Amino acid sequence: MAISSEPSRPYHHGSLRDALLRRAEEVLSESGVDGLSLRAIARDVGVSHGAPRRHFPDRQALLDALAEDGFVRLGDEIRAAAAAPASSFVERLGALAIVYVSFATQHAALLDLMFAGKHRPGASESLYAAAEGAFSPVFQLIVEGQAQGEVVPGDVDRVALAAWAGIHGLASMVNAGLVDRATLPSLVADAAERMVLGLRPRG
Amino acid sequence: MAISSEPSRPYHHGSLRDALLRRAEEVLSESGVDGLSLRAIARDVGVSHGAPRRHFPDRQALLDALAEDGFVRLGDEIRAAAAAPASSFVERLGALAIVYVSFATQHAALLDLMFAGKHRPGASESLYAAAEGAFSPVFQLIVEGQAQGEVVPGDVDRVALAAWAGIHGLASMVNAGLVDRATLPSLVADAAERMVLGLRPRG
DNA sequence: CAACTCTGTTGTCATTGCCTACATTCGATC
DNA sequence: GATCGAATGTAGGCAATGACAACAGAGTTG
């Protein structure tokens, strides 16, 4: 299970922080947050139990870093989907929704971490930044939609939030085990359709 | 903090299970799941650290029981809202949504527990039953709506899930701290409207 | 009253997170 | 390139925790 690497490890690992995060994420997806122990991860990586402290003041800091990393990766995927060629606004937004649900369901434990971290008072500034960065393509797309008259005008934050709630809720319910995984794709399609429908300017 | 009660406690507490659950729920809402320690709760209730084991084989069992209790109480509130006099289908369904979001946001940590438990393999049968029982009024209402032609026909589970995703997602995002609490009521109203809109037969 | 079962107590153990002192390495400055 | 301070890792210790086992009191049932 340990990330086996150089046979004779130098005193300084060189990239301990990254190694810890990598291993932590493995454990996270295999055993959930509760199964994540700093000491065990240190063992797996091959350092002493005190070493992680130099990079993460406490366990929560490690979890925050994982969450932040999660937002970054989610942001990458969303950005890629947003950049992909798409004919219509609807198609474009639908693609983002699919990417989101896909990420959320493939990294259930990580998603919990990501959304548990935001409301913690002491959460780092960079976590917030990462979260905002991840969702910025969505906001951007909605602003474009508004400009093109495809989306109801109004405060973007509010409009986006309302629209995205259905997508996030679906992902959340899948992770809770309320949804048969096989029916997920069609549900996502439905949700995306409903989202676009809900965004339409109403006469 | 402890639930002070009878001065000279008999050897047998009489209702230890309930007392533990009550105290656990207090701790849960004050300090979250991570702050919940079996030993601390036992201390608070005034029993030895081994006593809880007679009622909950391990910590997870206590959490499951909390979740189950949460579903029961949520069910009570939903049922009450469903039973309340309401003129229209729309109004009725909106009332359920409000009750749900209200419960979810007032018991954020508990909600996490409730929805984390469902996908755990070893979760007890009664937890599932409680969850289904809590949501049954929603299903029932949607079936009625379908009968009255107010709701698109089709598999109830699927329709209800799709509709409820927006509500649940909104609650989830509020708990994540993405929503200013002041704007919540109007957002819930929006979400409910969108939900009803999405349920309408199209055609 | 005697066996039996529940329920609670006490003591123990491994694990864990966090802390402090110490060791080794790296890097900047002279 | 030597020196000194900062960064990084090690070793040991501590209190708290969850799980477990052996035991004890209390109620129950024959």
Question: What is the distance in angstroms measured between the alpha-carbon CA of B11 and the sugar C1' of C3?
Answer: 21
pLDDT at A181: 86
pLDDT at B6: 39
Q: What is the pLDDT of residues B92-147, one digit of tens each?
A: 999 999 999 999 999 999 999 999 865 566 677 899 999 999 999 999 999 999 99
Task: Name the packing angle between helices A125-147 and A89-106 (round to 10°).
Answer: 150
**Pairwise CA distance, residues B184 & B182, whole Å:** 5
User: Of all protein residues, which has its CA closest to the C1' atom of C23?
Assistant: A11
What's the whole-number mean pLDDT along residues B34-42? 98
List, by residue range, all CATH 1.10.357.10 domains of chain A.
Answer: 59-199
Judge whether residue B39 has pLDDT over 90: yes
Q: What is the pLDDT of residues A60-105, one digit of tens each?
A: 999 999 999 999 999 999 999 999 998 899 999 999 999 999 999 9
- Compute the C-alpha angle B146/B169/B163, nearest 5°: 10
Q: Do A118 and B178 touch (CB under 8 A)?
A: yes
Nearest to B191 among A115, A165, A176 (CB): A165
Q: Which of B100, B42, B44 is nearest to B71 (CA)?
A: B100
pLDDT at A148: 94
Banded pLDDT at A5 (limits 50, 70, 90): very low
> Is the CB of A35 less than 7 A from some atom of nucleic acid strand D?
no
**Pairwise CA distance, residues A101 & A94, whole Å:** 11
Mutate to test the interface with A, among B31, B132, B151, B172 (most CBs of A within 10 A): B172
Q: Which of B169, B181, B160 is nearest to A97 (CA)?
A: B169
One-letter amino acid for residue A55 of the chain = H
Q: List, in order, residues 6 or more apart from A178 with CB less than 8 Å away.
A: B118, B161
pLDDT at A118: 56
Query: Which class does domain A1-56 fall in?
Result: mainly alpha
User: Of all protein residues, which has its CA closest to the C1' atom of D7?
Assistant: A54
> Is the CB of B45 less than 7 A from some atom of nucleic acid strand C?
no
> Is the CB of A53 less than 7 A from some atom of nucleic acid strand D?
yes
In Å, how far is A177's CA from the nearest CA of chain B? 5
> Is the CB of A37 less than 7 A from some atom of nucleic acid strand C?
yes
Q: What is the pLDDT of residues A73-85, one digit of tens each?
A: 999 999 999 999 9
**Which residue is closest to B199 within chain A, CA to CA?**
A194
Judge whether residue A3 has pLDDT over 70: no
- What is the SS3 assignment for B71? helix
Residue appearing with tokens 């997920």: A184
Asked if B199 and B151 count as a contact pair (C-beta separation under 8 A), the reply is yes
Arch. (CATH architecture) of B59-199: Orthogonal Bundle (1.10)
> Is the CB of B12 less than 7 A from some atom of nucleic acid strand D?
yes
B180 vs B45 pLDDT, higher one: B45
What's the whole-number mean pLDDT along residues A138-146? 96
Judge whether residue B11 has pLDDT over 80: no
pLDDT at B5: 38
What torsion, rounded to 10 degrees, do the Cα atoms B128, B130, B131, B133 define? 120
Q: What is the pLDDT of residues A109-137, one digit of tens each?
A: 999 999 996 556 667 789 999 999 999 99
Nearest to A161 among B112, B119, B179 (CB): B179
Tokens read off for A121: 């008072």
**Pairwise CA distance, residues B174 & B195, whole Å:** 18
pLDDT at B18: 97
Query: How many other C-beta atoms are found inside a 10 Å radius of the C-beta of residue B46?
Result: 17
pLDDT at A179: 86
Q: What is the DSSP letter of B149?
A: T
User: Of all protein residues, which has its CA closest to the C1' atom of D25?
Assistant: B11
User: Of all protein residues, which has its CA closest to the C1' atom of D21?
Assistant: B50
> Is the CB of A39 less than 7 A from some atom of nucleic acid strand D?
no
Q: Which of A68, A179, A169 is nearest to A118 (CA)?
A: A68
Q: Which of A36, A44, A39 is nearest to A19 (CA)?
A: A44
Quickly list DSSP for A146-185.
HHTTSS--S-HHHHHHHHHHHHHHHHHHHHTT-S-GGGHH
Query: How many other C-beta atoms are found inside a 10 Å radius of the C-beta of residue A18?
Result: 13
Nearest to A178 among B118, B172, B197 (CB): B118
Q: List, in order, residues 6 or more apart from A162 with CB less than 8 Å away.
A: A198, B170, B187, B190, B191, B194
Q: What is the pLDDT of residues A143-202, one digit of tens each?
A: 999 999 999 999 999 999 988 999 999 999 999 988 888 999 999 998 998 898 889 887
pLDDT at B71: 97
Asked if A171 and A164 count as a contact pair (C-beta separation under 8 A), the reply is no
Judge whether residue B165 has pLDDT over 80: yes
Question: What is the distance in angstroms measured between the alpha-carbon CA of B11 and the sugar C1' of D25?
Answer: 7
> Residue B105 CA to chain centroid, in angstroms?
10
**Pairwise CA distance, residues A175 & A71, whole Å:** 18
In Å, how far is A80's CA from the nearest CA of chain B? 24
Asked if A98 and A106 count as a contact pair (C-beta separation under 8 A), the reply is no
Tokens read off for B97: 């949504």
List, by residue range, all CATH 1.10.10 domains of chain B.
Answer: 1-56
Q: What is the pLDDT of residues B46-103, one digit of tens each?
A: 999 999 999 999 999 999 999 999 999 999 999 999 999 988 999 999 999 999 999 9
Quickly list DSSP for A22-65.
HHHHHHHHHHTGGG--HHHHHHHHTS-TTGGGGT-SSHHHHHHH
Judge whether residue A19 has pLDDT over 80: yes
